[in-house]
Chain A
Amino acid sequence: MVTTDEKGPLTAKKKSVIIRSCDGDEFLVSESAAVLSTSLKKILEEKEDRLIHLSDIDNKTLAMVIAYLSTHADDGLSDDLKRSFDQEFVSGKEFDVLKYLVLATDTLQVTCLCYTVAKKMADIMKNKLVEWVRREFDIQNDYTPEAEAEIRRLDAWAWDDRQLEDD
């Protein structure tokens, strides 16, 4: 279980690890939770150091990932409870937040969470306009208007039956 020491700077007790976000905050995590991330597991196997610095994951995102890891490392919880935790975990989250999360789970190699977050993102994208996708993924449209119109014309049926959302 995760224990936090409110009084002073964090010190890693036996079987726990300190993870520092790119904002500088530190999180105390049990080793059993940390090793659910393939990347953290590798780091821990390679060096004795109990302090891991993640230079590209921010506070907010890291806190979410750690909450996920701790829940999944808890042997006292049934698989059903973990599954409903997963659903709860992604529900209502903004697409932007999910983007940071999916990136973090990719860096940390947490396969299950990566799947859950990617699935949630896909569910949100399903009824969105092409323009919305370009904005959210920061993609430049490199088609000429003619070329894009041609692709739309060839499979016009795919556009015909549903109201698409732009927000």
Chain B
Amino acid sequence: MSEYLPQEVVIQILTKLPPKTLIKFRCVSKTWNSLISSPYFISMHTQQTLLSDSGTNQIIVRRYSKDQNSEVYSVHLDKEDQFPDDKNIRIEYPFRDCIRFYYRIVGSCNGVFCLFDDLFGQADSILLWNPVIKRKVILPAPQASFENMEYYMFVLGFGFDVVNNDYKVVRMAYIQGDNGYIVPPEVEVYALSTKNWHKINGEVPNCVVEYFWSQVLINGNVNWVAYRNRGKEVKVENLIMLFDLTREVFDEMPLPDALENELPINLIGVNVKGSLGVVHYEDRIWSMSCCIWVMTKYGDVKSWSKLYYVDFEGGPGMILGFRTNGDVLLSADNLGLVSYDPVTGKSADLGVHGTKDSFYASNYMESLALLAEGKEARERLPSDSDGDSESESSMEVDIDPYGDVERSEFWMQCSMSQYLTALLKRSDS
């Protein structure tokens, strides 16, 4: 009997190894290197991880730490009554000097993050990042360019097109007119396989996604809460706008009646254990409580149900997602990350601290995505800077040169809230 293992058997074995080990095993031979780096192997590896336990019990948390003046990422094991750090994964944050405070996380999928720098200033860079293999792809500028960027708002969506085995980013650019944002927006789609943006053929809905959008990825569709400015009779009509990443077409779905005419800034999309959910805040900035509506059967409008009520107790909070034990993950002022049991109303401090609005949490799995396309993304510590004297002097300055992060977060929310309220009142009169 020959000891030779056929390639499909080798693939069976290698797809069960963690990305870090596979990065090393590219050194075994040229054949193994090209196998491990091939899109076929990477997608087999991703599927294998999705099927295994490790694809379902990890949660990644991002927040901005004022002590470190930096974003911090950590991966946690989502166990029944514990939430420990995953000791096997330490995430280096490579973009410390690239951004004021922190990025907006457009979304994450198969271990890849899509980051956008529009939260604290002018939007000009979008990037894809796979932290576990330290690879990034900086997206080129979209074809539609605007002379004065300040009068535009950009809404993005990110996900994986399963049919074409491709990561895609959709960008909607809204021009700000006198009576609100002009619809329809200009739309372009970036595909990692072509490394470029292209226009789409289908129709774009005449609605606006609110500035504090957060996407929910369900069944290869990116979903956002959007609104339509109805003019005189009804102030505003809220709805779900969605983009099919494979067919590259938009669609829309109604929200439950109770949410249809709410101020758009108080509604945010959330992933509720794989279902589309919408958080309804009493008031986006000062909310002490919220309700969560869930479309229990995706696509079936009759299945919208109000399933959760969350009391933030201590102060304003923000819903981040759900744990496998049914608890709600949320960030609260002064407390940081909290696990809230919606049945008993009890909450537990998880000991992860950062500014309230900077928190992001989602299911996580390690993958090899971007291995071939990406450039190296390594952490740059202050000690890496070239001149010794320079780093010493920057150590002495212990204040944030841009001002306080929480004040900036608050200011952004207030101004958007005021803008929307004024806009919708005006069209009402």
Binding site for B on A (CB under 8 A): 22, 56-58, 99-100, 102-103, 106, 114-115, 118-119, 121-123, 125-126, 130, 133-134, 137-143, 148, 151-152, 154-155, 157-159
Contacts and interface: CB of A to CB of B under 8 A. Distances in A.
A111 B32 CA distance: 24
5 contacts: A57-B1, A114-B9, A118-B12, A130-B27, A157-B378
Contacts, number: 83
Contacts of B184: none
A125 B13 contact: yes
Given A102-B9, A106-B9, 6 more contacts: A56-B1, A103-B9, A137-B28, A151-B26, A158-B20, A159-B24
5 cross-chain pairs, A with B, having the tightest CB-CB distances, nearest first: A122-B16, A118-B12, A158-B23, A118-B13, A130-B27
B9 to A, nearest CB: 5
A125 B18 CA distance: 11
Interface in B1-58: 1-6, 8-10, 12-14, 16-18, 20-21, 23-33
Nearest to A156: B378
A144 B29 CA distance: 10
Contact of A143 (B5, B13, B27): B27
A148 B17 CA distance: 21
A20 B156 CA distance: 62
A164 to B, nearest CB: 9
Given A114-B12, A122-B17, A125-B13, A106 B6 contact: yes
A84 B3 CA distance: 29
Contact of A126 (B1, B21, B378): B21
Nearest to A127: B21
A117 to B, nearest CB: 9
A139 B28 contact: yes
Contacts of A154: 376
Contacts of B4: 138
Contacts of A158: 20, 23-24
A84 to B, nearest CB: 16
B1 A119 contact: no
A143 B29 contact: yes
A119 B16 contact: yes
Contacts of A141: 28-29
Contacts of A159: 24
Given A106-B9, A122-B14, A99 B3 contact: yes
B134 interface: yes
Given A56-B1, A154-B376, A134 B13 contact: no
